Amino acid sequence: MLSEPVIEIRHPLMQHKLTLMRSKETTTDNFRRLLREISQMLAYEVTRDLPLENIQIETPVATIDAPAISGKKLCVISILRAGNGILDGMLDLLPNARVGHIGLYRDPETLEPVEYYFKVPEDIADRLVIVVDPMLATGNSAAAAISRLKLRGAVSIKFVCLLAAPEGIKVMQAAHPDVSILTASIDQCLNEHGYIVPGLGDAGDRLFGTK
């Protein structure tokens, strides 16, 4: 099976805001605001190919057939905890989307994901699923989350992140070649601790001010 594409969004506004996020001088409140703003742009890009159907409406001056999104509402799945930073921004543009959460943490010794929470809509098989997490580092957590979603019946899945490492992309494409990846930046590599280089540090800690 051919792998779905990896799409790197190089919009100037997004790249500017990402540069501000990377700086270690950026405060928690500004980091949070910038992540929300970039997430709105990512939501715009990941929904670019949503199907449309014409519905009849009345404007103040005429009756017309106008395009509207067809089918069931989207489902956005946040990989806890940092995924909620992207989720909040996406819901600004997609307020009717259904929401699910998958709780995973990375074992500091093995770097493998350990699941502690899973709650998604019952009819997830009928929806386009957008999985969000700021960092695609080793790729293990994202791959594990998508595997769980597929076990629950999810068929149409996209993955959205702020930063991706080549190592994480390789793991994701090997495990889930049918899932497209959309990111604001493909960075250089992972360091010996599994952090993205140059990256921006631990997204969860910077988002919630826990370090």
Q: Which residues define the annotated binding site for 5-phospho-alpha-D-ribose 1-diphosphate?
A: 81, 106, 133-141, 202
Q: Is 205 a catalytic residue?
A: yes
Q: Is 106 tagged catalytic?
A: yes
- Is 92 considered catalytic here? no
DSSP string spanning 114-178?
Answer: EEEEEE--TTGGGSEEEEE-SEESSSHHHHHHHHHHHHTT--EEEEEEEEE-HHHHHHHHHH-TT
- Whole-number Å distance between alpha carbons of 57 and 60: 10
From residue 43, how far is each of 34, 49, 61 by CA, in Å? 14, 12, 32
Which stretch of DSSP H or E encloses residue 185? strand 180-186
Question: Looking at 33, 106, 148, 152, which residue is catalytic?
Answer: 106
Given the residues 88, 126, 178, 202, select the one marked as catalytic: 202
210 is an active site residue: no
Q: Which of 10, 48, 59, 110 is catalytic?
A: 110
Please report, in range form, the residues annotated as the binding site.
Answer: 81, 106, 133-141, 196, 201-203
- What are the CA-CA distances from residue 204 to residues 69, 86, 95, 112, 126 (Å)? 33, 11, 23, 17, 31
Mutual angle of helices 28-46 and 12-22, in 10-degree steps? 150
Q: d(Cα 133, Cα 87) in Å, to the nearest integer?
A: 9
Of the candidates 44, 46, 42, 21, which has an alpha carbon nearest to the alpha carbon of residue 33?
21
Enumerate the known binding-site residues for uracil: 196, 201-203
- Catalytic residues, by residue number, are 106, 110, 202, 205
